Amino acid sequence: MRYPDGGGLTPAARAKREQVRLEAAGLFAAGMSPPEVARKLRVSRKSAYVWHQAWRTAGAAALVSKGPGGQQCRLNAAQVERLEAALDAGPAVWGWIEDQRWTLARVTVLVGRLFHVSYTPRGISYLLHRLGWSPQVPSAAPPNATKSRSPPG
């Protein structure tokens, strides 16, 4: 399933889904079958059976939300702020004088230099997207993974 930029469910949407699962737990405890629960709560039978199995194994606690998915960012807030300042300064400041484009490879090296943290280029692309940077391809150059700050808005 794809979510809008920012990824995942909002805390309110996550709480709403958790409430449905906990309601299902109450219905299972009252003796209702998974197909009946699916009809009553207007969810798929598959979900009802998965919830029923989890409920039988560990009770209602198994249906509580585990929070947002995905990995934690390896950089803390101060490091992210420092990275943004480094990116705003431009590649020439960091030794790339051939052109003034940030590539995923360059940002990966920069993060390693600044914070001694290893990221893959794909991981860097997720990090940059979260920071508001987007891929930009110059019109006169062949397509590659360049980065520049997208306009606000």
pLDDT band at residue 148 under the 50/70/90 scheme: low
Q: How far is CA 128 from CA 64, 86, 108, 115, 117, in A?
A: 31, 13, 11, 16, 15
pLDDT, tens digit, 9 for 90 and up, residues 108-121: 999 999 999 999 99
For the cut 50, the answer to whether the pLDDT of residue 17 exceeds it is: yes
Higher pLDDT, 82 or 152: 82
**Burial of 48 (C-beta count, 10 Å sphere; 0-12/13-18/19+):** buried
> What value does the mean pLDDT take over residues 16-43?
96
Distance between CA 151 and CA 132 in Å, rounded?
Answer: 9
Question: According to the model, what pLDDT value does residue 94 have?
Answer: 93
Distance between CA 31 and CA 41 in Å, rounded?
Answer: 15
